[in-house]
């Protein structure tokens, strides 16, 4: 989710971790799930949005965008709701020290691990990424694909991922690392060069660095995006290059892949994210044509995820729909909750059909124009109908 799409109100587990890491190791990773198995095991996913990627003045802070401190109780609520995967967006920004070591602030890395453990120690799959460091609109962002100082950027990127991968080296396959988020040049158009080539190089640095960081990393599932996590610009002939996996553990059969492809899905935007009351309905069940978008319906959704299936899943590379969702417009149309549920059910079901794992974007905001499913203060479920629809679509 880009900063422009977010919305927020106002616009010790150490023992468990010891046990968990003690029973895992490189040997266990060799028997990790195949592509189809891991997607099935990941089931329906949920994003902890607007928390560890939030920042103030370039300094990441989980409460900077109006959300409360993340708790074990919240994660337990998410699990109880039926989600099997939690994606934790993370920004580093000015918590990264100066070169040549680019040391991540110890307190911040510890907190990231603590939040990861909330989910990991409950048996959930966990995805962590580098989220806001590539946005030109965020103060302190540095992973900029069309910046001039690419040598410095690549050195910094390598050092940061080396530290993250080392910290989580002994976590098993349920911990998935994601190279970046919606990285692009900031212009809403066709991919440009050399920006796309630089994104490809970041992905390659990420794979090489994580694989060489020891522990379970040589066999870990790694998640990489194309241009802005856009399906057309990833599956089409626009310049995306799959990273080579030359440092992967030799214990993994050559026929198995351990790289996943990340895309996001918010089509049609006038229904899912545009903060207006013009389009409030979606799908073949809509009752008012004037409130329904002229594009982006069920057939379009099917076609988009089929592109990812044909290009990647057929080759053994799982796809993760790392974000999807639709904002709340019930205040303007009392039937809107029905169509939001129809939409998320369709995305989850189509993802399942085409071998992709769907991860809903929850930004913590449950009011007007919010994506939230759960109130993070009261822990009340605010959109049970949508949760039911997601689970139904994903076969959970």
Instruction: Read off the pLDDT of residues 10-40 as tens digits, 9 standing for 90 and up.
Output: 323 332 333 233 333 333 333 346 889 999 9
Q: Rounded to whole angstroms, how far apart are CA atoms 78 and 82?
A: 7
Among the listed residues 53, 62, 178, 182, the single catalytic one is 182
Q: Rounded to whole angstroms, how far apart are CA atoms 226 and 109?
A: 26
User: Would you state the pLDDT for residue 20?
Assistant: 34
User: Would you state the pLDDT for residue 33?
Assistant: 60
pLDDT in tens, 85-118: 999 999 999 999 999 999 999 999 999 999 999 9
Work out the average pLDDT over 36-55. Answer: 97
With bands split at pLDDT 50, 70 and 90, how would you rate the model's confidence at 84? very high
Q: Indicate the domain borders of the chain.
A: 3-394
Q: Rounded to whole angstroms, how far apart are CA atoms 339 and 285?
A: 8
Q: Rounded to whole angstroms, how far apart are CA atoms 275 and 62?
A: 24
User: Would you state the pLDDT for residue 2?
Assistant: 58
The angle subtended at Cα 23 by Cα 20 and Cα 28, nearest 5°, is: 120
pLDDT greater than 50 at residue 172: yes
| Catalytic residue flag (residue 182) | yes
With bands split at pLDDT 50, 70 and 90, how would you rate the model's confidence at 362? very high
pLDDT greater than 50 at residue 160: yes
pLDDT in tens, 230-254: 999 999 999 999 999 999 999 998 8
Q: Rounded to whole angstroms, how far apart are CA atoms 89 and 296?
A: 26
Domain 3-394 adopts which CATH fold?
Answer: TIM Barrel (3.20.20)
The angle subtended at Cα 125 by Cα 182 and Cα 395, nearest 5°, is: 95
Structure tokens at 194: 């050399």
pLDDT greater than 70 at residue 145: yes
User: Would you state the pLDDT for residue 6?
Assistant: 52
Per residue, the 3-state secondary structure of the chain, as one string, reads CCHHHCCCCCCCCHHHHHHHHHCCCHHHHCCCCCHHHHHHHHCCEEECCCCCCCEECCEECCCCCCCCCCCHHHHHHHHHCCCCEEEECCCCHHHECCCCCCCECHHHHHHHHHHHHHHHCCCCEEEECCCHHHCCCCCCCCCCCCCCCHHHHHHHHHHHHHHHHHHCCCCCCCEEEECCCCCCCCCCCCCCCCHHHHHHHHHHHHHHHHHCCCCCHHHCCEEEECHHHCHHHHHCCCCCCCCCCCCCCCCCCCCCCCEEEEEEECCCHHHHCCCCCCCCECCCCCCCHHHECCCCCHHHHHHHHHHHHHHCHHHCCCEEEEEECCCCCCCCCCCHHHHHHHHHHHHHHHHHHCCEEEEECCCCCCCCCCCCCECCCCCCECCHHHHHHHHHHHCC
pLDDT over 90, % of the chain: 89
Q: Rounded to whole angstroms, how far apart are CA atoms 144 and 351?
A: 30
- pTM, entire model: 0.92
What interhelical angle do 150-167 and 106-120 show, nearest 10? 50
* Per-residue b or e along 194-223, where b marks 16 or more CB atoms closer than 10 Å to that residue's CB: ebbebbbbbbbbbbbbbbebebbbbbbbbb
- The closest of 33, 42, 36 to 253, measured between CA atoms, is 33
| Catalytic residue flag (residue 323) | yes
The angle subtended at Cα 358 by Cα 111 and Cα 349, nearest 5°, is: 160
């Amino acid at each position: 989710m880009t900063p422009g799409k977010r919305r927020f109100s106002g616009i010790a587990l150490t023992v468990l971790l010891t046990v968990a890491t003690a029973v895992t190791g490189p040997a266990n990773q060799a028997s990790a799930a195949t592509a189809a198995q891991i997607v099935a095991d990941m089931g329906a996913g949920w994003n902890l949005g607007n928390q560890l990627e939030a920042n103030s003045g370039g300094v990441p802070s989980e409460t900077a965008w109006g959300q409360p401190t993340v708790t074990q109780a919240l994660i337990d609520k998410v699990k109880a709701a039926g989600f099997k995967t939690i994606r934790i967006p993370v920004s580093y920004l000015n918590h990264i020290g100066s070169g040549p070591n680019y040391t991540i602030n110890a307190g911040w890395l510890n907190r990231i691990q603590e939040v990861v453990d909330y989910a990991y120690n409950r048996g959930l799959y966990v995805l962590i990424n580098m989220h806001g460091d590539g946005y030109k609109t965020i103060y302190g962002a540095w992973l900029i694909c069309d910046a001039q100082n690419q040598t410095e950027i690549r050195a910094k990127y390598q050092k940061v991922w080396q530290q993250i991968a080392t910290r989580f080296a002994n976590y098993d396959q349920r911990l998935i690392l994601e190279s970046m988020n919606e990285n692009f040049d900031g212009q809403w158009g066709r991919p440009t060069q050399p920006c796309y080539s630089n994104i490809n190089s970041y992905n390659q640095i990420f794979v090489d660095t994580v694989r060489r960081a020891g522990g379970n990393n040589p066999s870990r599932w790694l998640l990489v995006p194309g241009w802005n996590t856009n399906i057309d610009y990833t599956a089409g002939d626009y310049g995306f290059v799959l990273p080579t996996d030359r440092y992967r553990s030799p214990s993994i059969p050559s026929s198995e892949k351990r790289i996943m492809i990340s895309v996001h899905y918010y089509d049609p935007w006038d229904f899912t994210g545009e903060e207006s009351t013009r389009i409030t309905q979606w799908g073949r069940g809509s009752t008012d044509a004037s409130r329904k978008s002229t594009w982006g319906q069920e057939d379009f959704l099917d076609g988009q995820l089929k592109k990812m299936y044909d290009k990647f899943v057929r080759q053994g590379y799982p796809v993760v729909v790392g974000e999807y969702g639709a904002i709340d417009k019930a205040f303007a149309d009392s039937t809107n909750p029905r169509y939001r549920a129809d939409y998320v059910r369709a995305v989850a079901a189509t993802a399942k059909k085409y071998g992709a794992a769907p991860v809903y974007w929850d930004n913590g905001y449950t009011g007007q124009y919010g994506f939230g499913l759960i109130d993070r203060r009261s822990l009340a479920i605010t959109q049970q109908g949508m949760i039911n629809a997601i689970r139904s679509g994903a076969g959970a």
